[in-house]
Amino acid sequence: MTITDRAYAATICGDCLYTSANSWDERETGRPLPEPAPLGRLHPQALVSWDDVEPHFSWHACHGCGCTLGGDRYDVRIVEPVGA
Ligand SMILES: [Zn+2]
């Protein structure tokens, strides 16, 4: 079995950024899991990385969950396994 990775730049919303760092915990966020689920459109083993990411406003859909509400977006790098 050969596993390779696919890395690419993407823009995700605040909920997806939070989930990638902490996973979603209703006790911490004080909110139920959002719909659509954060990071729901990514491979289950995808890694999201960033360095000192600053939010910028956008109406574009979030790459991680597909949310189309306008709001903060963060430019990140995503690594997904391919061919697993
Ligand atoms: Zn999102």
Q: What mean pLDDT is reported for the chain?
A: 92
Ligand 1 is an ion; residues with CB less than 5 A from it: 13, 16, 62, 64-65, 67
Task: Report the separation in Å between the CA atom of 15 and the middle of ligand 1, taken as the mean of its atom positions.
Answer: 6
Instruction: DSSP for the chain, please give it.
Output: ---EEEEEEEEEEHHHHHHHHH---HHHHSSPPPSSPTTTTS-TT-EEE-SS---EEE-SPPTTT---S-EEEEEEEEEEEE--
pLDDT of residue 25: 92
Structural domain containing residue 64: 4-82
Q: Would you say residue 3 has pLDDT above 80?
A: no
Cα(18) to centroid of ligand 1, in Å? 9
CA of 84 to the centre of ligand 1 (A): 25
What's the number of domains the chain is made of? Answer: 1
Query: For residue range 48-63, what is the model confidence (pLDDT) as tens digits?
Result: 999 888 999 999 999 9
Q: Is it the case that residue 30 has pLDDT exceeding 90?
A: yes
